[in-house]
Structure 1
Amino acid sequence: MTEELEQLHNLELLLALEVLRICEKHKLKIVMLAGTFLGAIRHNGFIPWDDDMDFGMPRKDFEKFKELCSSDLDSEKYFLQTDQTDLNYPFNFVKLRLNNTHVSEEFSLDANVHSGIYIDIFPIDDICPKSFQRFVQLKGFWLFRNLLWIKCGYGDNDRKKRLTFKLVKIASSAFSISFLKKMKHKCILLGQNKVADTVVVSDGSYGLKKESFPKAWLDEVEKYSFDNIKLWGMKNYEAYLRHMYGDYMQLPPENQRNHHKRIKIDFGPYAEK
């Protein structure tokens, strides 16, 4: 692990502790997701080459968390980034960012948004039980999400060279950012107030199918060691990690060890002397 990545991990843990403080104070459910949960189980902390942290909250708790941050978050130190705080922020998950720091990533290089060091907190949404409603919910969300993040300037260099990207860019010009955000939000919430047995982390990086799992997995949670702290995760971690990664204890080949294509990190006042 490089010294820079170790510094990044330390600041992400600082952010995670702040999220944990608010959630435990107000009895909100929050769990580790994806590579963060895998890291807790396989490495007792960060996957050595990983460079972010992902958490999920049931939609009701997620909305409450956003509301509480307006009064319970140290705004001098932290910034909760949502699709309402930054016009060009297209996602339905939020980022808790560290003020006075900066991270440049290829995917978001052209987006004019707050760019402090961050962790991600995702809403976990109910999926419509009826097939037609489910189709509208997930396909509609997928369509408006892709129009939105391309319109807002997101995309790595390889994607931006593709013809499909350029065509979607042209198509997105027919809609305003606010309209696309409204429609994306409306689609993903179609499963609310219905008897759902499946949930989805809709803006996760593994795709809607892979990011869907039984709602019952969220019923029981427990704490797991993560570096020098403890974080919440699903009690049935084996089922979740098998669903996401198959043989999750097997290390992937080096060419499949993904990161966010960081270009530059400025640790600001947190830089180690």
Structure 2
Amino acid sequence: MELVENIRDTQNLMLPVLVFIDKICREHNLRYSLAYGTLIGAIRHKGFIPWDDDIDILMPRPDYEKLQNIIKNMNSDEFGIMDSNDLDSFYVTRMAKIFNKKTYLKEFPHKYILEYGAFVDIFAVNGMPDNVAEIKKMKKDIFLCSRFLHMYISSIYRIRGKRKKFTWFFKPFAKWALNKSNEIFNRYDFDSSKYAMNFEGDSIEKELMESDLFNHLIDVEFEGHQFKVFEQYDSYLKHMYGDYMQLPSIEEQEPHHSFDLYKI
């Protein structure tokens, strides 16, 4: 195996995963949009932000679940999935990761035994009530569930530590947390809800959006390919980041993840 040390080479190994996802979404009429830094890259650079080391997309919860099931049933030799409904997935409930099986990636290599491949992160956007107080309560409950899940998952993947001895103890709590999380995720039907949100975001104010955004998607160029984004991407990005066309300081132009990626 060959360690990938150049950020551009890392990006080029992730891009085929996004092409694969886009192909499935178009074939099955599934909605998605490039998101976060990936969306900024598409608009500002027509590709990756030069120092970005991941790809993010958002999907409505119903489309997200359909995509996971489609990919699980494909048994592809080239692409795999970390299913967010799998209790033993490191990212259970948080996100789905589609990855390139022709690569080898070690994430948090000094802390966890976590191995997959060059990836795309997919975040589910869930139907939300109109009441902000209720949304805050839902987010608080999801956070509590995530703590129970993390205790169990970290005990499985951690390289060393006392917590590994208590996997059996944490598992019942993790099962409850997974079921409770899915109840919250599906409490409000996405397509009949005016508002929607990705629970993984830090801020309700930033992440809360109108679900109708996903009914108005356009194609934009990203690394020579066409991918889906919100038609109202400008107002979305300004709400999230302010003047997103302004480059950050040199000090901030750094990758944000901790992984070692190898070509097989």
Taking structure 2 as the reference length, the TM-score comes to 0.83
Amino acid at match of 2:41: G
**Residues 1:27 and 1:263: Cα distance change in structure 2 (over 3 Å):** closer
Deviations along 1:4-45, whole A, 9 cap, x unmatched? 211211121100111011111111111101111100001110
**Secondary structure in 2 matching 1:191:** coil
Greater CA drift, 25-34 or 258-267? 258-267
**Residue 36 in structure 1 maps to residue 38 in structure 2:** yes
Task: Work out the CA distance in 2 between the residues paired with 1:193 and 1:31.
Answer: 16
Task: Identify the residue that residue 81 of structure 2 maps to in structure 1.
Answer: 80
Matches within 5 A, 1:1-273: 4-71=6-73, 73=74, 75-85=76-86, 87-89=88-90, 90-106=92-108, 110-153=111-154, 173=170, 176-192=173-189, 195-204=192-201, 206-268=202-264
Task: Work out the CA distance in 2 between the residues paired with 1:59 and 1:223.
Answer: 21
Deviations along 1:203-253, whole A, 9 cap, x unmatched? 24x444322222232221100000111110000011110011101111112
CA shift, 1:55, in A, is 0.8
> Is 2:105–2:115's contact at 8 Å kept on the other side of the alignment?
no
Deviations along 1:88-111, whole A, 9 cap, x unmatched? 4234321001114222333x7644
Deviations along 1:157-199, whole A, 9 cap, x unmatched? xxxxxxxxx9xx9xx9595322222222222322226842221
Q: Percent identity?
A: 24
**Residues 1:202 and 1:228: Cα distance change in structure 2 (over 3 Å):** same
> Is 2:87–2:174's contact at 8 Å kept on the other side of the alignment?
no
Task: Identify the residue that residue 158 of structure 1 maps to in structure 2.
Answer: none
CA shift, 1:60, in A, is 1.3
**Residues 1:146 and 1:254: Cα distance change in structure 2 (over 3 Å):** farther
> Is 1:91–1:203's contact at 8 Å kept on the other side of the alignment?
no
**Residues 1:131 and 1:38: Cα distance change in structure 2 (over 3 Å):** closer
Greater CA drift, 8-17 or 173-182? 173-182
**Secondary structure in 2 matching 1:190:** coil
Greater CA drift, 137-146 or 49-58? 137-146
CA shift, 1:261, in A, is 3.4
Unmatched segments (≥5 aa) in structure 2: 156-162
Task: Identify the residue that residue 158 of structure 2 maps to in structure 1.
Answer: none
Greater CA drift, 186-195 or 60-69? 186-195
Amino acid at match of 2:198: V
- What is the RMSD computed on CA atoms of the aligned residues? 2.7
Greater CA drift, 121-130 or 9-18? 121-130
**Residues 1:109 and 1:20: Cα distance change in structure 2 (over 3 Å):** farther
Task: Work out the CA distance in 2 between the residues paired with 1:217 and 1:198.
Answer: 10
Amino acid at match of 1:179: W
**Residues 1:227 and 1:189: Cα distance change in structure 2 (over 3 Å):** same
Taking structure 1 as the reference length, the TM-score comes to 0.81
CA shift, 1:257, in A, is 3.2
